[in-house]
Amino acid sequence: MSTDTSASPAYVATDRPAHRDGNVLRWLAAYTCSMLGDNVYYLALSWAAVQAGTPSQAGVVMSVSALPRALLMLGGGVVADRFGPRRVVIGSDAVRCAAVLAVAALLLFTRPGLWPLALLALVFGTVDAVFMPAVGALPARVTSRGQLARVQGMRGLAIRFAGVVGAPLGGLGVATGGAPAAFGLAGLLIAASLPLLVWVRVRELPPDDGRPAATAWGDLVDGLRHIRRHRVLAPLMPAIALGDLGFVGPLNVGLALLADERGWGASGMGGVLAGFGAGAGAASLLLTVRGRLPRAGLVAAYSILAGSVAIGALAYVPVLAAAVTTALFIGLLAGLSGAMCAALLQTLAEPAYLGRVAAVAGLASLGLAPLSMPLSAAAIGVWGTGPVFVGSAGVCGLGGVVALCVPGLRRAELPR
């Protein structure tokens, strides 16, 4: 099992608050740069695809990355654990940077059509399959267990910042030099994460902690066995999957259809999304400041349940202001439950298995949950927004029921 200490001295984690720990702040800056690059990349890809083909063709290009990401995610967890999450993140960002800059150069000098965009999306999806589990495993190697909840809050703030700033940056790139400039900007932002990641120090694993199996398949089976036998991780995975499955459809496709039905328009939909983002950001800020919430399992369970009620109510609010307020509560509760689940996952899983554990959680969130989007759209066409939102809320609420009914998860605590 790799200790992932190449080009970086071994790190001894302390209980220093994460927001005052230079090692954590270097990791956070690298993560923020990478997420900014991702947001600019997706805007550039959608713009270039629409310019090069029809809207349906652009939709196909945008969805190309989903299949390899879902199919290879579990294997990516094995790679992250075998080679070390820091090394895998560095390699993944280097490949993503090179691919984006290559397409930027190609678009600058030629008009090749859709094929390089589809190839780029395929490369991104394949690399994401190893990048995402490694990203999920890295925080536990750069700080102490007692600071992981605060780190999840800081990570949430970075995601919100990248989402708010990334789209205008991408738009500025497109306005300045078209798709080549936007892709070039995305590549440079991802590249900025590399020296920061090289500078990040990681904690070594104990010599006998998670010794690798003879084969990658054996490693995967060993990781799944670790989850299945764990009294908290085993119920936590279906709780995460059900919560995301009931959340993604209504808050993506369903919201657009609801805004059109109510006559709120694009600006109204943007206001609802802003309310959700503000709520999620508030949850992240709370964890960043507090660092720990007691009764983490119970907080996660009640947050999922309350959030599911808010999701069902969103379809029935009569005016835009009420919808924005409801979305704010959804964001607050979803951000809180998501951070609690992630912190529990990272503190309770054995460090040597974190890549595989993060891969299983990521497969539920990024592989299964997106399937609810076309299903939600089709169901709304048949039954309307109200019943579908309520049905999705029921699926989401089942995640809270699981968390509430399993004693090990309900009583789970974060370390002090």
Mean pLDDT of the region 251-255: 78
Q: Are 278 and 152 in the same domain? A: no
Q: What percentage of the chain has pLDDT greater than the value 90?
A: 51
Q: Do 191 and 256 reside in the same domain of the chain?
A: no
- CATH number for the domain spanning 330: value is 1.20.1250.20
User: In terms of pLDDT, which residue wins out, 66 or 197?
Assistant: 197
CA 95 – CA 393 distance, rounded (Å): 39
Same domain, 240 and 298: yes
* Mean of the per-residue pLDDT values of the chain: 87
CA distances from 381 to 220, 310, 374, 377 (A): 40, 22, 11, 6
| Residue 194 and residue 306 in one domain | no
Domain boundary among 144, 169, 198: 198
Average pLDDT over residues 358-385: 80
Bigger pLDDT: 60 or 153?
Answer: 153
More confident residue, 51 or 279: 279
Taking the CB of residue 245, how many other CB atoms lie within 10 A of it?
23
What is the predicted pLDDT for the residue at 14? 57
83-92, 185-194, 366-375, 407-416: range with lowest mean pLDDT: 366-375
- Greater model confidence, 60 or 23: 23
Among 91-105, 196-210, 283-297, 366-380, top mean pLDDT goes to 91-105
Please tell me whether residues 173 and 235 are part of one structural domain.
Answer: no
Residue 416 lies in a domain: no
pLDDT digits (tens, 9 = 90+) for 70-128: 889 999 999 999 999 999 999 999 999 999 999 999 988 888 778 889 999 999 989 99
Distance CA 100, CA 187 (A): 6
In degrees, rounded to 5, the angle at the alpha carbon of residue 388 between the alpha carbons of residues 385 and 389 is 80
271 pLDDT above the threshold of 50: yes
Range of the domain at 86: 22-198
Looking at residue 232, what is its pLDDT?
Answer: 94
- Name the phi and psi angles at 142, rounded to 5: -115, -5
With b for 16 or more beta-carbon neighbours within 10 A and e for fewer, the 114-141 pattern comes to bebbbbbbbbbbbbbbbbbbbbbbbbbb
pLDDT of residue 354: 92
Q: Which amino acid is at 14?
A: T
Answer whether 81's CB lies under 8 Å from 223's CB: yes
Residue 377 falls inside a structural domain: yes
pLDDT tens by residue, 149-166: 899 899 999 998 998 898
CA–CA distance, 149 with 19 (Å, rounded to integer) = 12
Contact 275, 131 (CB under 8 A): no
Higher-pLDDT residue of 246, 36: 36
Question: Do 185 and 169 touch, CB atoms closer than 8 A?
Answer: yes
Residues 6+ apart with CB under 8 A from 267: none
Provide the pLDDT for residue 6: 46
289: which residues sit within 8 A by CB, 6+ positions away? 153
Task: Answer yes or no: is 289 within a domain.
Answer: yes
Q: Are residues 126 and 260 in the same domain?
A: no
Query: Where does a domain end: 166, 198, 230?
Result: 198
Decide if 50 is inside a domain: yes
User: For residues 295 and 239, is the Cβ–Cβ distance under 8 A?
Assistant: no
- 204 found inside a domain: no
So what's the pLDDT on residue 324? 94
* pLDDT value at residue 210: 52
Closest residue by Cα to residue 260 from 268, 271, 252, 250: 268
pLDDT band of 16, cuts 50, 70, 90 = confident
Q: Per the domain annotation, does 322 fall within a domain?
A: yes
Instruction: Note whether 194 and 220 are same-domain residues.
Output: no
Residue 7 pLDDT more than 50? no
What residues contact residue 244 under an 8 Å CB cut-off, 6+ apart? 364, 365, 368, 369
Check whether residue 287 and residue 330 sit in a common domain: yes
Q: Structurally, how many domains does the chain consist of?
A: 2
Residues 241, 394 contacting (CB under 8 angstroms)? no
Residue 13 within a domain? no
User: Per-residue pLDDT tens for 182-234?
Assistant: 999 999 999 999 999 999 998 876 654 555 666 888 999 999 999 999 999 99
Query: Is residue 97 included in any domain, yes or no?
Result: yes
Whether residue 147 is found in the same domain as residue 234: no
Amino acid 202 reads V
Confidence bin at 357 (pLDDT 50/70/90): very high
State the average pLDDT over residues 24-44.
Answer: 94
Is the same domain home to 385 and 291? Answer: yes
